[in-house]
């Protein structure tokens, strides 16, 4: 897949993350997970999906970079199926009325926390598909953010699979 990589500061850390991404594209077939081709790599940035998918340089661990890349691409994917996403958000609201609304347990507000249940679930599935269940579980359970959400994904996996019912 041809992606446009914008190195915001063009420093060594950003170059290293780009090199790791190139390696991931060589090692794995990630085409079905690429929704946007425009990728910024920026030191000291918080990874985010919009308006341009932006990765940071906090880690050079390829599995971490893979998971963040997938996470941000899934944000883009959910925009392409907005009606389905809204329907799932309503179901999650009914099933999980008491959720954490702040980092590091949840996200920044109620809607974002419910949205991240979907995103993190799909991220976990993508990681399972690419690197296997054992490594996928290890990666998501060691992240220092969305901790309640990632634990929910593991604890209620089968239940969430039925509620979310979204495949990439």
Give the pLDDT band of residue 3 (cuts 50, 70, 90). Answer: confident
Tokens of 73: 């691409």
CA distances from 12 to 46, 59, 68 (A): 18, 13, 20
Arithmetic mean of pLDDT, 109-113: 96
Looking at every residue in the chain, the average pLDDT score rounds to 96
Task: Kindly list the domain boundaries of the chain, sorted by start residue.
Answer: 4-61, 81-164
- Strand ranges for 32-168 from DSSP E: 38-41, 53-55
pLDDT over threshold 90, residue 2:
no
- Given this model, what pLDDT does residue 7 score? 96
pLDDT in tens, 84-97: 999 999 999 999 99
Task: For residue 135, give the nearest of 53, 49, 28 by alpha carbon.
Answer: 28
Cβ(112)–Cβ(50) below 8 Å? no
Arithmetic mean of pLDDT, 46-62: 96
pLDDT in tens, 137-167: 999 999 999 999 999 999 999 999 999 999 9
Q: What pTM value is reported for the model?
A: 0.96
């Amino acid at each position: 897949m041809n992606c446009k990589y914008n190195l915001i500061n063009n420093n060594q850390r950003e170059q290293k993350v780009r090199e790791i991404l190139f390696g991931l594209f060589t090692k794995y077939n990630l085409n079905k997970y690429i929704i946007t081709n425009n990728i910024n790599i920026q030191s000291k940035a918080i990874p985010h999906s919009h308006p341009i998918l932006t990765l940071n340089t906090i880690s050079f661990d390829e599995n971490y970079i893979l998971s963040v890349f997938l996470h941000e691409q899934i944000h883009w994917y959910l925009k392409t199926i907005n009606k389905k996403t809204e329907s799932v958000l309503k179901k999650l609201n009914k099933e999980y009325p008491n959720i954490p609304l702040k980092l590091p347990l949840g996200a920044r507000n109620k809607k974002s926390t419910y949205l991240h249940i979907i995103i993190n679930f799909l991220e976990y599935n993508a990681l399972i598909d690419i690197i296997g269940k054992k490594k996928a579980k290890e990666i998501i359970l060691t992240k220092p953010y969305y901790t309640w959400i990632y634990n929910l994904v593991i604890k209620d996996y089968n239940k969430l699979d039925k509620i979310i019912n979204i495949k990439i």
